[in-house]
Chains A and B, each alone.
Chain A
Amino acid sequence: KNQVEQSPQSLIILEGKNCTLQCNYTVSPFSNLRWYKQDTGRGPVSLKIMTFSENTKSNGRYTATLDADTKQSSLHITASQLSDSASYICVVRLNTGFQKLVFGTGTRLLVSP
């Protein structure tokens, strides 16, 4: 069964600190992996970080890494801001058919002043 698991479920950090969110996936055939940010009561918004092989991609304060061998990805947020408080969802695309997306359950991040 195609699954995406994220950890931790929730995280509280102080403003200005860094944090790392984890994503493990068992999806086949794998196409690529993206990270989305979802504010409460809103739709997910892409962080514009896509990885499709063993690599590291950055977009501002967000950096995502992918290890295709272990099927793990991490999202690192540096110098956190209050506006970073949201759920962060790991999304894996299947390389078949209409390229279905498989979503993780998300990590709920709270940045405290």
Chain B
Amino acid sequence: DTGVSQDPRHKITKRGQNVTFRCDPISEHNRLYWYRQTLGQGPEFLTYFQNEAQLEKSRLLSDRFSAERPKGSFSTLEIQRTEQGDSAMYLCASSSYSTDHNEQFFGPGTRLTVL
């Protein structure tokens, strides 16, 4: 069990640029989640995939945000035309319903800084 991995760990970009983050879940987990966490706050839900299907999207996920999980394995989160308010830690988590009451396992996060 290698855990959930995320890439990159840190990203610094200029306002208006596009960025893409990748998440590799635990291999046998069919559920994948994206969260955003700002300093001093708990994570906020962004979106949820079951296999390749995106089943839930938060209203926080504006039209500049898009997430995919094309083959039901890794997932990508893209932010277009970044704004300074997008600066945050982006966390990915995965779970399996059969494992410990669907406990979510988190990756180390990608810290985004928009200048």
Contacts and interface: CB of A to CB of B under 8 A. Distances in A.
B104 A32 contact: no
B102 to A, nearest CB: 6
Interface in B40-71: 40-45, 48, 50, 55-56
Interface in A28-52: 32, 34, 36, 41-46, 50
Nearest to B44: A103
Interface residues of A, number: 23
Nearest to A104: B42
A89 B42 contact: yes
Given A42-B108, A42-B109, A43-B108, A99 B102 contact: yes
A105 interface: yes
Contact of A4 (B42, B101, B104): B42
Interface in B92-114: 93, 100-109, 111
B26 interface: no
Given A4-B42, A104-B42, A105-B41, A45 B56 contact: no
A106 B42 CA distance: 6
B75 to A, nearest CB: 15
Nearest to A6: B42
Nearest to B41: A105
9 contacts: A32-B101, A36-B106, A41-B89, A44-B91, A46-B104, A89-B43, A93-B102, A101-B43, A103-B42
